[in-house]
């Protein structure tokens, strides 16, 4: 039972309680992104093994002009989960060559990241007017209704890959419902490839991804007064070809009881037992097509890097 009278219980407590006492054990991947986790993720994006970020950036840089031409005229750009908008400038610059006025609405849960996004875009694309929107997608996408004009919505970085296929369609359908005919979505997906490339991307030699994964336990120790011993877990990354996803786990190295004081909960975690912390789905083009179709978008065009490791897909309402 969760002690409801304690004011400091975080909103994710119930999910953690269910996930950690069930079998197999799971923890929600949103727990990764506290301040330390967000910094570790930034570090991951610069790792040699983590090809996703640089590959997507290269596709955007190479094809920005074509992408904005295909997306339509007089566009307002909205970026979901924009973070610091590190990948958006090539698209915005291409747009400023086509239209007099460009408005950019970066949307994120973190006001600090949006502050950086505003500074970056204002410095790199002075002709773009930046209007940050702080929003939590758990509360829907109603903010899209308040943005006027024909929209190009960006959802980059393979973030859609962290949703299971059903939730991905549900989330994209929610976005779709707030858009009008003619609006477009540019969606980034990581593509299915040889596991010899995929596995190291999620289990790098410097151990940054392992640290990122274990940071979830550090967070539970802090926010739920838990006593996880981080050294008693190892990071495991596996390719699951049946479900087309990378799976990330924390595997227990010795049996031990763990107490989460704020939840008044004690659990036994056995040696070899795994806590499933993340899935990262990889798509084929037909899978991306189906996902967009099921969410109400018509896939008009996709762009890839030379190796077809990453794809950017233009869906139309
Ligand atoms: C944020 N997301 C797209 C990353 C991914 O590749 O699934 C999160 C990540 N997990 C481990 N490394 C990176």
Q: Return the ligand 1 atom nearest residue 278 CA.
A: 10
Q: How far apart are the first and last CA of the chain?
A: 45
Give CA–CA dist 62/287, Å, rounded.
24
- Of 202, 245, 249, the one to substitute when testing ligand 1's pocket (max ligand atoms within 8 A of C-beta) is 202
CA 162 to ligand 1 centroid distance, Å: 7
Q: Return the ligand 1 atom nearest residue 246 CA.
A: 7
Per-residue pLDDT of the chain (317 residues; tens, 9 = 90+): 444 455 478 889 999 999 999 999 999 999 999 999 999 999 999 999 999 999 999 999 999 999 999 999 999 999 999 988 999 999 999 999 999 899 999 999 889 889 999 999 999 999 999 999 999 998 999 999 999 999 999 999 999 999 999 999 999 999 999 999 999 999 999 999 999 999 999 999 999 999 999 999 999 999 999 999 999 999 999 999 999 999 999 999 998 899 999 999 999 999 999 999 999 999 999 999 999 999 999 999 999 999 999 999 999 99
CA atoms within 13 A on the CB side of 252: 18
Residue 11 has a pLDDT of 85
Instruction: Tell whether ligand 1 has an atom less than 6 A from the beta carbon of residue 159.
Output: yes
Buried b (16+ CB within 10 A) or exposed e, 29-66: bebbbeeebbebbebbbebebbbbbbbbbebbeebbee
CA 261 to ligand 1 centroid distance, Å: 29
Q: Which residues contact 105 (CB under 8 A, 6 or more apart)?
A: 76, 77, 78, 79, 131, 132, 133, 147
Residue 232 has a pLDDT of 96
Residue 109 has a pLDDT of 87
Residue 7 has a pLDDT of 46
Give CA–CA dist 292/86, Å, rounded.
25
Give CA–CA dist 251/299, Å, rounded.
40
- The gap from C-alpha 167 to its chain's centroid, in whole angstroms, comes to 13
Decide: 295 and 176 in contact? Cβ < 8 Å: yes
Instruction: Output the residue whose Cα is nearest ligand 1's atom 6.
Output: 280
Decide: 78 and 147 in contact? Cβ < 8 Å: yes
Residue 244 has a pLDDT of 98
Give CA–CA dist 229/249, Å, rounded.
15
Q: Which residues contact 57 (CB under 8 A, 6 or more apart)?
A: 86, 87, 90
CA 281 to ligand 1 centroid distance, Å: 10
CA 245 to ligand 1 centroid distance, Å: 11
CA 280 to ligand 1 centroid distance, Å: 7
Query: pTM for the full model?
Result: 0.94
CA 209 to ligand 1 centroid distance, Å: 9
What is the three-class DSSP state of 211? helix
**Strand locations in 109-207 (E):** 128-130, 133-134, 150-155, 184-190
Decide: 32 and 215 in contact? Cβ < 8 Å: yes
Buried b (16+ CB within 10 A) or exposed e, 206-237: eebbbbbbbbbbbbbbebbebebeeebbebbb
Decide: 284 and 32 in contact? Cβ < 8 Å: no
Instruction: Output the residue whose Cα is nearest ligand 1's atom 10.
Output: 202
Instruction: Tell whether ligand 1 has an atom less than 6 A from the beta carbon of residue 208.
Output: no
C-alpha R_g of the chain: 20
Residue 285 has a pLDDT of 98
- Write the Ramachandran bin of 133: left for phi over 0, alpha for psi from -120 to 50, otherwise beta: beta
Instruction: Tell whether ligand 1 has an atom less than 6 A from the beta carbon of residue 161.
Output: yes
Instruction: Tell whether ligand 1 has an atom less than 6 A from the beta carbon of residue 55.
Output: no
Number of neighbouring beta carbons within 10 Å of residue 305: 19
Q: Return the ligand 1 atom nearest residue 212 CA.
A: 11
Decide: 149 and 159 in contact? Cβ < 8 Å: no
Q: Return the ligand 1 atom nearest residue 158 CA.
A: 3
């Amino acid at each position: 039972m969760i002690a409801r009278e304690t004011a400091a219980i975080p909103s994710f407590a119930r999910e953690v309680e269910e996930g950690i006492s069930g079998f197999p054990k799971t923890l929600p991947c949103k727990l990764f992104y506290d301040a330390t986790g967000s910094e570790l993720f930034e570090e991951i994006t610069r790792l040699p093994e983590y090809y996703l970020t640089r590959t997507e950036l290269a596709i955007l840089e190479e094809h920005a002009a074509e992408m904005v031409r295909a997306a339509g005229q007089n566009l307002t750009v909205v970026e979901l989960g924009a973070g610091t908008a590190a990948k958006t400038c090539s698209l915005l610059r291409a747009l400023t060559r086509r239209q007099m006025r460009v408005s950019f609405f970066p949307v994120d849960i973190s006001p600090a990241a949006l502050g950086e996004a505003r500074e970056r875009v204002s410095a790199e694309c002075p002709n773009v007017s930046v209007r940050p929107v702080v929003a939590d997608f758990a509360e829907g996408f109603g903010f899209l209704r308040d943005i006027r004009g024909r929209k190009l919505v960006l959802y980059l970085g393979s973030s859609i890959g962290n949703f299971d296929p059903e939730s991905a369609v549900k989330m994209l359908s929610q976005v779709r419902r707030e858009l009008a005919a003619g609006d477009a979505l540019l969606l980034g997906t990581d593509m299915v490839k040889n596991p010899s490339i995929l596995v190291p991307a999620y289990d790098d030699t410097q151990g940054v991804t392992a640290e990122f994964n274990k940071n979830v336990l550090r967070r539970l120790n802090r926010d739920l007064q838990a006593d996880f011993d981080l050294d008693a877990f190892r990071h495991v990354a596996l390719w699951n070809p049946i479900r087309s996803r990378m799976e990330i786990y924390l595997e227990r190295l010795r049996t031990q009881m763990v107490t989460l004081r704020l939840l008044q909960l004690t659990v036994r975690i056995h040696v070899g037992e795994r806590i499933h912390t993340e899935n990262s789905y990889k798509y084929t083009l037909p899978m991306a097509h189906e996902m967009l179709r099921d969410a109400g978008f018509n896939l008009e065009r996709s762009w890839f890097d030379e190796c077809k490791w990453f794809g950017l897909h233009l869906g139309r309402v």
